[in-house]
Amino acid sequence: MNENTARVNVKEPFESYRSRLARGDETCEGRVQEHLTVISQRKSLNTYLAVYGDEALERARAIDKKIHEGKAGDLAGMVIGVKDVINMKGKITTCGSKILEHYESVYDATVIERLRDADAIIIGKTNMDEFAMGSSTENSAFGPVKNPIDETRVPGGSSGGSAAAVAAGMATVALGTDTGGSIRQPAGLCGVMGMKPTYGRVSRYGLVAFASSFDQIGPFAHSAKDIARLLGVIAGHDERDSTSANVSVPDYLSALDGNVKGLKIGLPKEYFDEGLNPEIRQALEQRIDTLKKSGVEFVEVKLPHAEYTIATYYILATAEASSNLARYDGARYGYRSPHATDLWEMYTKSRSEGFGAEVKRRIMLGTYVLSAGYYDAYYRKAQRVRRLIQQDFLEAFKKVDCLMTPISPTTAFKFGEKVDDPLQMYLSDIYTVSANLAGIPGISIPAGVDSRNLPIGLQLLGRQFDESTLLKIADFLERKN
């Protein structure tokens, strides 16, 4: 084994090894090779839909040269997996669906451009629930992703491939998307950090839409510093995205000073009810105690409309999905049924054969709530409730700096346990969807393990564009672990 392939810790945070890269004690090529080795060894996890091994190694060698010349970017040597709902020019973007199985993207998403400009190394595209619709990554047309801690259990969803890749050491960091908890929930179930930034903080240009007013791209990592560095690169205004916020991006790393004294954290009583697993409750109480001893004040807050979040989310998100997925009709791109004999059959058979069961279910739900006679009863009313939920958070943040809640009512569940009961599956998102309804940032932080050694995650929710406070607390708790 030569110096370029010396053994490295594949789960080591980027911030821990970047100084060694700068000194020449380690190479980007060696680190990429080690990640590729893990990918090969743990194929059973079904984490990647495409691996760009030769391309990643070639880029790593080029970046090693740039490091030697002192010309490397902020993410030089960061090996990243990208959820297969984000477009990369010349690469297949499947969205985990048969309908896009052979679709080759003709352009790069803004986040991909920014990663490349900062000298990140993209190692592959990660598996996901079809069109990001799911909470377990059991809905991929290319097979489910397995949880690397226990392969009989789900990794969470819909960004299960990205979470599992980071947890297993198949990438240093990864990008996912969060529409109702799809970064935070799998991060919690796989024992890594995952952040949903404020809506509009990260450009959605090049992201294949599920629900356009909810979707947000965000990072997975082993450390708060890696989240901070990666978010600092991909965040910022993009004129190609009409929903991108023209708000300055702070230096997230500077907030990670280990000092949390004087912060006020709210505990929403509605999120600590009887449905919460006792081991998860105990784990959160231990972290609360740690923070109290370091000068953090905890305040009970109320979110009066919390009970309506799941219903509101699944009305609005499915309505947007119905609209967004209408473009996959067999006429322009994507799968076209070979069994069609006329135009009508081309539409119906292409969509029937190309979409999976969960996507069809959500299209039908969304079409129903948008239909004549039901629009006012469901969609319009849900929009009004969404505003009330947003107002609940605005009121809470007048009293506290952020909120702490569980990520999920349970730890990772078994395959098949909920897939045939959509309501139970949807309730897996009960603590996460509110952040997407309100457009606020949230982060999942590892908080120990349960009696079966399954990861427990806690969630922090913050004011719009205040990711820094969440990262500060995440970094503090990481240091205390």
The pLDDT tens digits of the residues spanning 447-457 come to 999 999 999 99
DSSP conformational letter for 376: I
- Report which of 69, 150, 24, 158 is spatially closest to residue 429, judged by C-alpha positions: 158
Q: What is the mean pLDDT of the chain?
A: 96
Question: Vertex 174, ends 252 and 41: CA angle to 5°?
Answer: 145
pLDDT band (50, 70, 90) for residue 2: very low
- DSSP readout, 37-75? HHHHHTGGG--EEEE-HHHHHHHHHHHHHHHHHT---TT
Angle between helices 224-234 and 14-23 (to 10 degrees): 80
DSSP conformational letter for 377: I
Collapsed DSSP state (helix, strand, coil) of residue 99:
helix
Give domain status of residue 295, yes or no.
no
Residue partners of 395: CB distance under 8 A and separation at least 6: none
Q: Average pLDDT for residues 14-25, to the nearest whole number?
A: 95
Give domain status of residue 151, yes or no.
yes
Q: Average pLDDT for residues 231-248, to the nearest whole number?
A: 98
Describe the strand order of the beta sheet including 48-51 as a list of residue ranges: 48-51, 121-126, 79-83, 173-177, 217-221, 193-196, 442-449, 455-462, 402-406, 264-268, 297-301
The domain in which residue 67 lies consists of 3-255
Q: Determine whether 198 is exposed, middle or buried from the number of CB atoms within 10 Å of its CB (0-12, 13-18, 19+).
A: buried
Residue 364 structure tokens: 């039908």
CA distances from residue 445 to 192, 221, 222 in whole angstroms, order as listed:
7, 10, 9
CATH (domain of 225): 3.90.1300.10
Over 90: is that where the pLDDT of 5 sits?
no
Q: What pTM value is reported for the model?
A: 0.96
Length of the chain: 481
Q: Average pLDDT for residues 252-262, to the nearest whole number?
A: 97
Give domain status of residue 18, yes or no.
yes
pLDDT in tens, 403-423: 999 999 999 999 999 988 888
Residue the block writes with tokens 């969205």:
95
Over 80: is that where the pLDDT of 77 sits?
yes
Give domain status of residue 321, yes or no.
no
Number of domains into which the chain is organized:
1
Give domain status of residue 456, yes or no.
no
Give domain status of residue 132, yes or no.
yes
Collapsed DSSP state (helix, strand, coil) of residue 431:
coil
Residues designated as active site: 83, 158, 182
- DSSP readout, 167-189? HHTS-SEEEEE-SSSTTHHHHHH
pLDDT band (50, 70, 90) for residue 1: very low
Give domain status of residue 129, yes or no.
yes
- Report which of 107, 113, 145, 141 is spatially closest to residue 126, judged by C-alpha positions: 145
* pLDDT at residue number 144: 98
Give domain status of residue 9, yes or no.
yes
Over 90: is that where the pLDDT of 7 sits?
no
